[in-house]
Amino acid sequence: MHKKGSLELSVNAIVVFVLAFAMLSVGFFLVNMIRGQLQDVVPQVFKLENFQTPPDSQNPLVFTPNEIKVESGGETTIGIGYYNAGVITVTGAKFDVLKCLIGNTVVTNDGNLLTVNTIPQDVPQSEYKIYTVLIKHPGAASQLIGNNRYICEVGIMDSSGTTHYSEQQQIVIES
């Protein structure tokens, strides 16, 4: 009789282990699926490690990724590093797309090209700051339409709206 009872205990133990393993597998699958969806929703916060080269006096503006892709009506998050090579602190430094080359015409950005959102920061002389920047494409209202490449000028501006430094960066617009 004891042998039959021990066999039943062994079968029960195996069933419990199989069920526990199945539940653990389902749990890992769900956590992985939720984590993947959150990566698409939560914007990435950029750190110095995200940049191939840090901003310095030779390269005061650095971008990650190097080529920016924004779908028509969509938005994207990029990282920008800014090194203040000037002689004073830039107060409330933020970024904006100043103008873009469309065909053979340079068009000034008055909200009809792209909008740029970032938290302004004070950047002391000979120091750098890393920005997480949200770029939005206004969709059909934008002059940047079609599946084309545009060369745009990005500028660092202070709290008074004075542009301190500008650098050209290619922006790929996908509609």
| Residue 175: predicted pLDDT | 43
Q: Binning pLDDT at 50, 70 and 90, where does residue 161 land?
A: confident
DSSP per position, the chain: -HHHHHHHHHHHHHHHHHHHHHHHHHHHHHHHHHHHHHHHHSPPPP-GGG-SS---SS-SEEEESSSEEEETT-EEEEEEEEE--SSS-EEEEEEEEEEEEETTEEEE-SSSS-EEE---EEE-TT-EEEEEEEEE--GGGSS--SSEEEEEEEEEE-TT--EEEEEEEEEEEE-
pLDDT exceeds 80 at position 134: yes
Instruction: Tell me which of 34 and 121 has the higher pLDDT.
Output: 121
pLDDT exceeds 50 at position 156: yes
Q: Which CATH architecture has domain 48-174?
A: Sandwich (2.60)
What pTM value is reported for the model? 0.64
Q: Structural domain boundaries of the chain? A: 1-42, 48-174
Average pLDDT over residues 103-125: 84
